């Protein structure tokens, strides 16, 4: 007897009219195993009432709405790459409706992170500052490099993004710092240096430095420098398209398909733990 085909993953997208939202809409449409069942945007957006695929010229049959409950009503999972305040509103709606959540939003406060962790006792959540498969493999490489170069190397993290990005350093850069600090047995809050100006004195060898660049339409570049005596190692990841974030997000949706509760990240999704 032929096995019944697997049911598609029913997905809603937050911020559906934005750059990342449109990439997610297209990725779900083209995936073969995911179906777009809801599209959300903020009240007052010019896209409200339009088909989520109108901009690409490939209608989805799903209209963009500001009614969060309605936008989630036919979905099993919401993908959210919006702003912290919007994501928290969506989190509460997902809790109320039993909808799982993939969070790519960055810039959360400690209190907001605690609320997300609390919500994961009632729904399943994947939260990662970067959904790219390549970035998460890079994080694993950084963990290995930091352990091997724990002494005698100064560590600097340089990131570049488009002019519209509102938080700095990027969530990905901070995650890189956290991974490195954990591998070294340090607390990033105590060893991070986010700005240098004037007479700063010699570099503290235990510090992890950050530098931020904003300009143009840079999708996302990250480079970690391990600078030693007589050599330096540079581990770099460059994104040329948001498509990689969308594909990673769909992998997270698939991972959550058999989960009802729990807080996970892309290391869990990719089996890198």
Q: Domain check: are 28 and 113 in the same one?
A: yes
Q: Domain check: are 178 and 259 in the same one?
A: no
pLDDT at residue 158 greater than cutoff 70? yes
- Does the residue 4 lie in any domain? no
List the single range of 1-15, 58-72, 197-211 with lowest mean pLDDT.
1-15
- Does the residue 17 lie in any domain? yes
Q: What is the pLDDT of residues 68-96, one digit of tens each?
A: 999 999 999 999 999 999 999 999 999 99
Q: CB under 8 Å to 24, separation ≥6 — which residues?
A: 13, 16, 79, 81, 246, 249
**Which of the following is catalytic: 9, 113, 162, 165?**
165
Tell me, what's the pLDDT at 5?
55
- Does the residue 230 lie in any domain? yes
- Does the residue 217 lie in any domain? yes
Q: Domain check: are 36 and 98 in the same one?
A: yes
Per the structure, the complete domain to which residue 103 belongs is given by 9-127+242-270
Tally of residues, the chain: 273
Nearest to 196 by CA among 149, 156, 142, 151: 156
Q: Domain check: are 230 and 247 in the same one?
A: no
Which has more confidence, 114 or 241? 114
- Kindly report the number of other CB atoms within 10 A of residue 128's CB atom: 26
Q: Give the DSSP letter string of 229-270.
A: SS-EEEEEEEES-THHHHHHHHHHHHHHTT-SSEEE-HHHHH
56 — pLDDT class (breaks 50, 70, 90): confident
Q: 83 preceded by cis ω (within 30°)? A: no
- Does the residue 1 lie in any domain? no
pLDDT at residue 3 greater than cutoff 70? no
Q: Domain check: are 175 and 231 in the same one?
A: yes
CATH number reported for the structural domain that contains residue 27 in this entry: 3.40.50.720
Query: Which residues make beta-bridge pairs with 160?
Result: 213, 221
Tell me, what's the pLDDT at 273?
81
Q: Domain check: are 116 and 146 in the same one?
A: no
State the angle between helix axes of 133-148 and 171-184 in degrees (0 to 180), rounded to the nearest 10: 30
Q: Clarify whether 140 is annotated catalytic.
A: no
- Does the residue 234 lie in any domain? yes
Cβ–Cβ under 8 Å, residues 213 and 159: yes
Q: pTM here?
A: 0.84
Nearest to 75 by CA among 39, 114, 31: 39
Element holding 212 (H helix, E strand): strand 208-214
Q: What percent of the chain has pLDDT over 70?
A: 98
Q: How far apart are CA 86 and CA 16, in angstroms?
A: 13
- Does the residue 3 lie in any domain? no
Q: Domain check: are 206 and 183 in the same one?
A: yes
Q: Domain check: are 106 and 163 in the same one?
A: no
Q: Domain check: are 216 and 182 in the same one?
A: yes
Cβ–Cβ under 8 Å, residues 227 and 149: no
- Kindly report the number of other CB atoms within 10 A of residue 259's CB atom: 16
pLDDT at residue 34 greater than cutoff 60? yes
In the numeric block, which tokens belong to residue 250?
A: 């769909």
Q: Domain check: are 42 and 59 in the same one?
A: yes
Q: Domain check: are 100 and 23 in the same one?
A: yes
**Which of the following is catalytic: 9, 90, 147, 161?**
161
Span 127-132, average pLDDT:
92
pLDDT at residue 131 greater than cutoff 60? yes
Nearest to 17 by CA among 7, 8, 26, 9: 26
Q: How far apart are CA 81 and CA 68, in angstroms?
A: 15
Q: Domain check: are 19 and 40 in the same one?
A: yes
Span 146-158, average pLDDT:
97
Q: What is the mean pLDDT of the chain?
A: 95
Q: Clarify whether 74 is annotated catalytic.
A: no
List the single range of 1-5, 15-19, 70-74 with lowest mean pLDDT.
1-5
Span 253-266, average pLDDT:
97
- Does the residue 2 lie in any domain? no
CATH number reported for the structural domain that contains residue 173 in this entry: 3.30.360.10
Considering its fold, how many domains does the chain have in total?
2
Tell me, what's the pLDDT at 242?
87
Q: How far apart are CA 39 and CA 20, in angstroms?
A: 13
Tell me, what's the pLDDT at 127?
97
2 — pLDDT class (breaks 50, 70, 90): low
């Amino acid at each position: 007897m032929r096995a019944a085909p697997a049911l598609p993953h029913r997905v809603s997208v937050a911020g559906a009219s934005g750059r990342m939202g449109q990439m997610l809409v297209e990725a779900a449409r083209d995936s073969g195993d995911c179906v777009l069942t809801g599209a959300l945007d903020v009240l007052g957006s010019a896209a409200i009432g339009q088909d989520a695929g109108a901009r690409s010229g490939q209608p989805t049959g799903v209209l963009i709405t500001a009614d969060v409950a309605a936008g989630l009503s036919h979905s099993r999972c919401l993908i959210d790459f919006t702003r912290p305040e919007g994501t928290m509103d969506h989190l509460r709606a997902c809790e109320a409706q039993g909808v799982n959540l993939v969070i790519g939003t960055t810039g959360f406060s400690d209190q907001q992170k605690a609320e997300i962790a609390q919500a994961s006792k009632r729904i399943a959540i994947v939260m990662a500052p970067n959904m790219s498969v390549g970035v998460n493999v890079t994080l694993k490489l950084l963990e290995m490099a930091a352990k091997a170069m724990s002494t005698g190397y100064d560590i600097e993290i340089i990131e570049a993004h488009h002019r519209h990005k509102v938080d700095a350093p990027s969530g990905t850069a901070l995650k890189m710092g956290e991974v490195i600090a954990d591998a070294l047995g340090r607390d990033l809050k105590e060893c991070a240096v986010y700005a240098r100006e004037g007479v700063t004195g010699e570099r503290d060898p235990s510090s992890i430095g950050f530098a931020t660049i904003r300009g143009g339409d840079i999708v996302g570049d990250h480079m970690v420098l391990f600078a030693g005596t007589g050599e330096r190692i540079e581990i770099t990841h460059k994104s040329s398209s948001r498509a990689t974030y969308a594909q990673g997000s769909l992998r997270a949706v698939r991972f959550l398909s058999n989960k009802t509760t729990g807080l996970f990240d892309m290391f869990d999704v990719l089996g890198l733990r």
